[in-house]
């Protein structure tokens, strides 16, 4: 059995998240149907993460197994013909048989987009702010995330994970145009709903409802009720997933 990685992107607006749901359309299921149709056998697909309903990915990595040798560009082309317009496969390549899209990922990077004015274009990919925010103060609060590893306060309750520990590698707001700001956060792993809860709590700091020390106390409380509300998913993007070079199957590859 050979293992293949694929790099893909999707607009999550029409999906109930990445993971297969009993009563809703998912990206994972749509991808598995296309692969199974093309390869003429049932194919399981494992993603690097589980984006929530409505959340997008400009770079997701997933893996699947197949007995035969596949031509990456040919598979990529065929899958893009079978998949709907809101999912695109960029590349397919062979990796080591024990490589795992989820467990071997060394980091994930998310970005959250906000806009301070009404926008007719791109409005479905940014959260509209109706109150001015102090982004400098929000960056000050975001910097405190590096001092902690237990982010229970920003996790959806009753999840099946063994630990709520994450190592934050990046966390900062950046102004990208006159009216647009982007929050970039990178970590070795993320908890369910974590990024949206972090952004929602940082917005409380930006509105002056929570101090930077108060933000620290939210983290230290290890209680989801102490954090702010989760911001909408439509403005959140998974933008990168990182791996070690040695996952490649006998040759280097530009995708990592």
Which is the catalytic residue, given 11, 52, 104, 240? 52
3-state secondary structure the chain: CEEEEEEEEECHHHCCCCCCECCECCHHHHHHHHHHHHHCCCCCCEECCCCCCCCEEEEEEEEEEECCCCCHHHHHHHHHHHCCCCEEEEEEEEECCCCCCCCCCCEEEEEEEEECCCCCCCHHHCEECCCCCCHHHHHHHHHHHHHCCECHHHCCCCCCCCCCECCEEEEEEEECCCCEEEEEEEECCCCCCHHHHHHHHHHHHHCCCCCHHHHHHHHHHCCHHHCCCCCCHHHEEEEEEECCHHHECCCCCCCC
Does residue 52 carry a catalytic annotation? yes
Catalytic residues: 52
């Amino acid at each position: 059995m050979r293992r293949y990685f694929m790099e893909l992107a999707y607009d999550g607006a029409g999906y109930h998240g990445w993971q297969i749901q009993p009563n809703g359309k998912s990206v994972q299921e749509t991808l598995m149907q296309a692969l199974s149709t093309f390869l003429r056998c049932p194919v399981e697909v494992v993603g690097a993460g589980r984006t929530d309903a409505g959340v997008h990915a400009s770079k997701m990595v997933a893996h699947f197994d197949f007995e035969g040798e596949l031509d990456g560009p040919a598979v990529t082309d065929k899958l893009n013909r079978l998949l709907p317009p809101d999912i695109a496969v960029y590349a397919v390549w062979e990796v080591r048989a024990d490589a795992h899209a989820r467990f071997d990922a060394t980091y994930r990077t998310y970005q959250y987009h906000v806009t301070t004015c009404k926008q007719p274009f791109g409005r479905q990919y940014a959260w509209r702010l109706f109150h001015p925010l102090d982004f400098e103060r929000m960056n000050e609060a975001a910097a405190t995330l590096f001092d902690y590893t237990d982010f229970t306060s920003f996790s959806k309750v009753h999840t099946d994970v063994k630990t709520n520990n994450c190592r934050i590698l990046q966390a900062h707001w950046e102004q990208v145009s006159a009216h647009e700001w982007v929050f970039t956060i990178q970590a070795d792993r993320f908890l369910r709903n974590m990024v949206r809860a972090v952004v929602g709590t940082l917005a409380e700091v930006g509105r002056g409802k929570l101090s930077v020390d108060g933000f620290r106390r939210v983290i230290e409380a290890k209680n989801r009720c102490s954090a702010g509300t989760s911001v909408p998913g439509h403005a959140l993007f998974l933008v990168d997933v990182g791996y070690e070079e040695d996952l490649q199957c006998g040759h280097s590859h530009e995708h990592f």
